[in-house]
Structure 1
Amino acid sequence: MLKLAGVGAGYGPVQVLYDFDLEARAGEVLCLLGRNGAGKTTTLKAIMGLLPLSGGKVMLNGADFTALPAHEVPKRGIGYVPQGRRLFSELTVSENIEIGLMARGNGRATRARVLEMFPRLSERLDQRAETLSGGEQQMLATARALCLEPSVLLLDEPTEGLQPSMIQLIRETVEAMRAQGVAIVLVEQRIEAVLTLSDRVAFIENGHSREVVDTSDLTAASPLLKKYVGV
């Protein structure tokens, strides 16, 4: 289980998260939902060690890794697919995948499993990442994270700007990871995706943790969605 307890974080003198709590359980999709600027991406960056914490702890299965440098966090089995993909654009598909494998010393068997999930990437191994379509780049960013064989997967707006067929592929990937017992934290603005894919929803407002509810208790007309997202 991934747990944030009393986390404070921000950018220089600008604090974004205040005494923030969050729990993501193995084998579930937890959607972090809130308005633009509420602190969703900041939360994921804080987990990955990309921002210094002003307070609180980040723990995985009870082990505190708050003080770990950012390059050590993936070695603990936390995969991150950031908004905008952040690929090594001048490197090939194959080279981007190799970088994912190197983080935890995984090899050919892991590579084969990941490529089986994204067969289109197998056809483009020698192609530079910057020449891929938006959907293919999202595939590659997700594949790179899965090369860690993660126990926790963080996804920041994974379906943004994608056509329906690509959205369905990302959805199937998330469902497959959940079935394997991976804890998934999903930042997603598409309410339909939230309601049909997540198990629980954690609301965030102005950097503060608010209600956490089972998705089965929400509908598109739920007052909580209007209160925290404005839909």
Structure 2
Amino acid sequence: MLEVRGLNSAYGQVTVLHGVSLTAQSGEIHCVMGRNGAGKTTLLKTIMGIVPALSGDVLLDGQSLNTLPVHEIPKLGIGYIPQGRRLFPELTVGENIEIGLMTRKVSPDTRNWILDLFPPLENRLGQQAGTLSGGEQQMLATARALALRPKVLLLDEPTEGLQPSMIEQIRQVVIKMRDQGFAIILVEQQVDAVVSIADKVTIIENGKSVETISGEALKTSPEKIRKYLGV
């Protein structure tokens, strides 16, 4: 289980997160929603140690991550798929996956497990990552994170800029990960994509976690969507 307790973080002198709290249980999709600039991406970066926490705590199975070097956090089992994918474009698909496999000791069948999840990648292992389509790049970014065999998966806007068929493929992989026991924190702007798969939803407004509700409750509360998201 991943726990975020009263998390505060800043860029320089500008505080962005103000006491954000949430939990992600194994076998659960916990979506984070809010308007642009609300602090959603900063939350994920602070969990990963990329943005230092000013106060509060991030715990994985009870272990605090706050004082760990950034490169140690993935080794504990947190996979991060940043907005914009951040692949190594000059390396091949296979090499990008190998970088993920090198990060943490995983079972020998992990590579085959990943390629079973994303069959199109198997035919492109020798292709440079930068030449893939947007949807294929998102697949590869997700595959690289899954190469850790993580306990927790953080996804930042995974469907951004993708065509509907590719959005559905990514959605199905997220559901499959949940069903296999992963704890998933999903930052997503597409309301329809969220309400169809979310177990819980935390709304962030002006850097504060203002409400956490079930995905089912969000479906039946369009007034909350209008209030917090302006949709």
Q: Smaller-chain TM-score range?
A: over 0.9
Following superposition, the deviation at residue 220 of structure 1 comes to 7.2
Q: Deviations over 1:181-221 (max 9, x none)?
A: 11100011111001101111100010011110011112376
* Cα distance in 2, alignment partners of residues 29 and 90 from structure 1: 33
The residue that corresponds to 2:39 in the other structure is: 39
Confirm whether residue 24 of structure 1 aligns to residue 21 of structure 2: no
Q: Deviations over 1:87-125 (max 9, x none)?
A: 011111011000000110335410010011111111010
Q: Percent of aligned pairs with the same residue? A: 58
The residue that corresponds to 2:5 in the other structure is: 5
Paired amino acid for 1:6: G
The residue that corresponds to 2:216 in the other structure is: 216
* Cα distance in 2, alignment partners of residues 220 and 156 from structure 1: 25
Confirm whether residue 170 of structure 1 aligns to residue 170 of structure 2: yes
CA contact (8 A) 1:20 1:209 kept: yes
Q: Deviations over 1:163-185 (max 9, x none)?
A: 12211110111011001111100
The residue that corresponds to 1:157 in the other structure is: 157
Paired amino acid for 2:124: R
The number of residues matched between the two structures is 231
SS in 2 for 1:197: coil
* Cα distance in 2, alignment partners of residues 218 and 211 from structure 1: 11
Following superposition, the deviation at residue 20 of structure 1 comes to 1.3
Paired amino acid for 2:76: R
Paired amino acid for 1:173: V
Query: What does 1:72-151 correspond to in 2, within 5 Å?
Result: 72-106=72-106, 108-151=108-151
Q: Deviations over 1:45-102 (max 9, x none)?
A: 0001101111011001111111111111100100011100000111110110000001
Q: Deviations over 1:124-167 (max 9, x none)?
A: 10111100000000000000000000110000000111112211
Q: Deviations over 1:8-47 (max 9, x none)?
A: 1121111100111111111110110100000000000000
Paired amino acid for 1:185: I
* Cα distance in 2, alignment partners of residues 161 and 107 from structure 1: 33
Q: What TM-score results when the alignment is normalised by the length of structure 1?
A: 0.97
Deviates more, 1:100-109 or 1:87-96: 100-109
Task: For structure 1, list consecutive stretches of 5 or more residues without a partner in the other structure.
Answer: none
* Cα distance in 1, alignment partners of residues 89 and 122 from structure 2: 17
CA contact (8 A) 1:101 1:107 kept: no
Paired amino acid for 2:73: V
SS in 1 for 2:219: coil
SS in 2 for 1:184: strand
* Cα distance in 1, alignment partners of residues 27 and 105 from structure 2: 24
Task: For structure 2, list consecutive stretches of 5 or more residues without a partner in the other structure.
Answer: none
* Cα distance in 2, alignment partners of residues 220 and 194 from structure 1: 13
CA contact (8 A) 1:57 1:64 kept: yes
The residue that corresponds to 1:206 in the other structure is: 206
Q: What TM-score results when the alignment is normalised by the length of structure 2?
A: 0.97
* Cα distance in 1, alignment partners of residues 109 and 59 from structure 2: 29
Aligned-residue RMSD, C-alpha:
1.1
Paired amino acid for 1:49: G
